[in-house]
Amino acid sequence: MTKRQKRMLAVGLLLAGLSLAAVLGFTAFSKNMMYFQTPSDIAGGKLPQGARIRLGGLVEKGSVQRGDGLVVNFSVADCDANLPVRYEGILPDLFREGQGIVATGHMDGKTFVADEVLAKHDENYMPPELAEKLTTPDGKHSCAQFKSMTKT
């Protein structure tokens, strides 16, 4: 084997190793990605069953029902749709009806099963992903419809 052939073999092996590392990295990254969804996105049927997602929206007024033990059922709404959510655990102190939340979990039939619920920390705060989803093309928030949906 000539010196040039050895060099070409080394470069080829290096490129093959880098390609393999990139494929493995992107595969692991795509499996661990969690997308932010709103109830409208889920109602649109874009989500495969069993996919792990973050759900954002407002807790509908009058929808919180406490079950046995630490089980809590409530609905999360956005401008166009609402989604029933089941959560078992201790809710954050700031969790209440009409507040924005971000829940992490998966769909089980037509119910979102949350394993983590985060509540916003002040009156004017909205999760950035939710604010982005509710922004109109002219750059304004279309929260008027969103807030009216949570009023009783």
pTM attached to this predicted model: 0.66
First to last CA, the chain: 82
pLDDT at 71 over 80: yes
More confident residue, 23 or 67: 23
Averaged pLDDT, 55-63: 88
Task: Decide: 101 and 95 in contact? Cβ < 8 Å.
Answer: yes
pLDDT at 142: 57
C-alpha to C-alpha distance for 81 and 42, rounded to whole angstroms: 9
Q: What does the pLDDT look like over 117-138, one tens digit per residue?
A: 998 766 566 667 666 766 666 7
In angstroms, the CA 113 to CA 111 distance is 6
Please say if the pLDDT value at position 146 is more than 80.
Answer: no
